[in-house]
């Protein structure tokens, strides 16, 4: 039986990690038997239907973050998948506030005693929100950037060359070794993206195990107990969600999300995603981050689903808006 490869896709809320994983799956980069461990922060998981279409087994870890409150669940789930020997690759998608350092540490411990290899450690970073998020939520944000072996910038097509360069240099200040990918995702095939992300690991493979990450010099590794205090900071985020049969015409949907930018009314909304009906025959999926609102045509579903994630959310006002 071959070594099980483990890929971690981290990224703050709305950075596009699910889109990235979907792209790689859709473009058949993952052709072998794959299990996805997904840790949603928010009340409504939305992406299951797509993954089932590709026969990807999903293990969902809900209620808490896999790097702290549900760390044992995560460890047990990983062990169970490895011991079953029924998969050739494990994709881990932590929640937006997952501490990448902790997740890497858990996988490295398992790597020592099992036939598994930590392959990709990716952080997806929204270039348009880097400044704001690193200032507001530095603890989660920096941890993901510092511990990634590849940083893939999203929404680079929405930034000027100067803005892009500024973000790249700021990332370099806290992680001098990571490979940084700035090309818009639509301009790269899944195979190219994957190859670029794996390249650094391959170079090192002659000397180390493939994808080995040196936690001693450039990556700040903490004992878990040291972080117990900071774990409570997950509480600064809350989520609100509904299932709804309501039809939302596109202009109404756009108008609602334009309104959500008003922090005085709704609190700070950092992310929303969902799937709703827009007229008698059409359904759409949407993705909202403060500077962008994307809508894609989608298959009909049994019921519409909307989830909103943020800081100091006013749930009553959200209820009224939708």
Q: Tell me, rounded to whole angstroms, the distance of Cα 294 from its chain centroid.
A: 17
Task: State residue 54's pLDDT score.
Answer: 80
Task: State residue 137's pLDDT score.
Answer: 86
138-146 vs 161-174: helix axis angle to the nearest 10? 80
Q: What is the pTM of this model?
A: 0.81
Domains in the chain, please, with CATH? 4-222 (3.40.50.300), 237-321 (3.30.1220.10)
Task: State residue 62's pLDDT score.
Answer: 64
DSSP string covering 162-193, please? HHHHHHHHHHHHH-SSSEEE-S-GGGS-HHHH
**Residues 190-212: pLDDT tens digits?**
999 998 888 654 433 222 222 33
**Residues 112-159: pLDDT tens digits?**
888 999 999 999 999 999 999 998 888 888 999 999 999 999 999 999
Q: Please list the helix, strand and coil fractions of the chain in percent, rounded to the nearest 5, in that order.
A: 40, 25, 35
Task: State residue 275's pLDDT score.
Answer: 93
Task: State residue 189's pLDDT score.
Answer: 93
How far apart CA 164 and CA 207 sit, in angstroms, is 33
Q: Does the pLDDT at position 71 exceed 80?
A: no
CA angle 104, 152, 311 (to 5 degrees): 75
Task: State residue 201's pLDDT score.
Answer: 45
Q: Which tokens in the block code for residue 121? A: 């450690």
Q: Which tokens in the block code for residue 225? A: 């107990």
The continuous run of DSSP H or E covering 253 comes out as helix 250-259
What average pLDDT does the chain have?
Answer: 82
Task: State residue 123's pLDDT score.
Answer: 96
**Residues 216-268: pLDDT tens digits?**
333 333 333 333 334 445 568 888 999 999 999 999 999 999 999 999 999 99
Q: Tell me, rounded to whole angstroms, the distance of Cα 320 from its chain centroid.
A: 29
First to last CA, the chain: 51
Task: State residue 1's pLDDT score.
Answer: 63
């Amino acid at each position: 039986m071959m070594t099980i490869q483990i890929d971690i896709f981290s990224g703050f809320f709305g950075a596009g990690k699910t889109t990235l994983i979907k792209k790689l799956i859709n473009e058949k980069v993952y052709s072998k038997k794959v299990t996805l461990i997904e840790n949603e922060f928010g009340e409504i998981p939305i992406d299951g239907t797509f993954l089932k279409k590709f026969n990807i087994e999903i293990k969902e870890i809900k209620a808490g973050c896999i790097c702290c409150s549900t760390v044992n669940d995560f460890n047990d789930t990983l062990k169970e998948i490895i011991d079953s020997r029924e998969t050739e690759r494990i994709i881990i998608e932590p929640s937006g506030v997952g501490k990448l350092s902790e997740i890497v540490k858990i996988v490295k411990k398992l790597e020592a005693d099992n036939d598994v290899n930590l392959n990709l450690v990716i952080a997806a970073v929204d270039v348009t929100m880097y400044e704001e998020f690193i200032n507001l939520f530095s603890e989660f944000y920096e941890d993901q950037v510092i511990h990634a072996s590849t940083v893939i910038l999203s929404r680079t097509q929405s930034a000027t060359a100067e803005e892009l360069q500024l973000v790249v240099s700021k990332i370099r200040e806290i992680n001098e070794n990571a490979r940084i990918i700035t090309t818009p995702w639509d301009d790269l095939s899944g195979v190219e993206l994957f190859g670029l992300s794996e390249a650094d690991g391959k170079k090192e493979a002659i000397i180390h195990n493939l994808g080995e990450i040196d936690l001693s010099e450039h990556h700040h590794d903490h004992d878990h107990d040291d972080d117990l205090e900071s774990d409570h900071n997950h509480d600064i985020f809350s989520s609100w969600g509904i299932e709804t049969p309501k039809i939302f015409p596109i202009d109404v949907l756009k108008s609602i999300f334009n309104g959500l930018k008003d922090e005085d009314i709704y609190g700070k909304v950092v992310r929303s995603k969902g799937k709703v009906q827009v007229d008698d025959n059409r359904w759409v999926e949407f993705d909202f981050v403060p500077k962008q609102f994307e809508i894609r045509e989608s298959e009909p579903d049994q019921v519409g689903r909307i989830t909103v994630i943020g800081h100091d959310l006013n749930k009553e006002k959200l209820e009224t808006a939708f």
